[in-house]
Amino acid sequence: MLSFFFYCAGEASVGLWAATYFVSVRGVDPSVAASWGSLFFFGIMGGRMISGLLAMRVKERTLINTGILIAVLGALLLALPLPQVVSLAGLLLFGLGCAPIFPNLIHITPQRFGANYSQAVIGLQMAAAYVGATLMPPVVGWVGQSIGFSGLPYFLLACLALLYMTILVCNKKTGFGLVKEEAA
């Protein structure tokens, strides 16, 4: 459940605060920053289309792990003091990386928890996702107003690290992805 909280906390926060980050940290004109902020959503849209096409040939775990790696690269490009165009590419990559994570985490729920429990578990996952998307963006905004928005990429990296760790813990507890399962 926590993996959905952390994923949606990062996704919603960057969706709401990316333009502010570009204005206050990168010195981008507000009208330009507003249009740049939409690139995150373009990345998610394009990434969901691509991952949908790959879903028949690539395992869910591979799509999730690749997505996390791409999102980490995007967040790092946002954090580094590089030219604005690199930060822009970072935002696009963050969206592209986020794209396969949520749908594939939902898709593997019956495999992880069993078909009998999957409806209830997915309900709890959705609740955790909504709590993360509802609570964390205001916290990010409050912290950003208090000490500045330069920490946004580091918050995103923390969300991704916690997402990955909670996925690993869940996989270990449910036995998902063990060699015996993959051989079957």
* pLDDT tens readout for residues 8-40: 999 999 999 999 999 999 999 999 999 998 999
Any idea where the domains of the chain sit in the sequence? 2-183
pLDDT over 70 (residue 184): no
Rounded mean pLDDT of 34-53? 93
Neighbour-count burial of 1, counting CB atoms closer than 10 A to its CB (0-12 exposed, 13-18 middle, 19+ buried)? middle
Residue 14 confidence (pLDDT) = 96
pLDDT band at 182 (very low <50, low <70, confident <90, very high): very low
pLDDT over 80 (residue 183): no
Rounded mean pLDDT of 78-106? 95
What mean pLDDT value characterizes the chain? 92
> What fold is seen in the domain 2-183?
Growth Hormone; Chain: A; (1.20.1250)
Rounded mean pLDDT of 166-177? 87
Measured between alpha carbons, how far is residue 52 from residues 48, 74, 99, 128 in Å? 6, 21, 10, 24
A 10 A CB-CB count for 178 gives 11
| pLDDT above 70 as % of the chain | 96
pLDDT over 60 (residue 137): yes
Residue 1 confidence (pLDDT) = 81
Residues making up the chain, counted from first to last = 184
Rounded mean pLDDT of 5-9? 97
Residue 178 confidence (pLDDT) = 60
Neighbour-count burial of 147, counting CB atoms closer than 10 A to its CB (0-12 exposed, 13-18 middle, 19+ buried)? exposed
Q: What is the pTM of this model?
A: 0.91
Residue 176 confidence (pLDDT) = 79
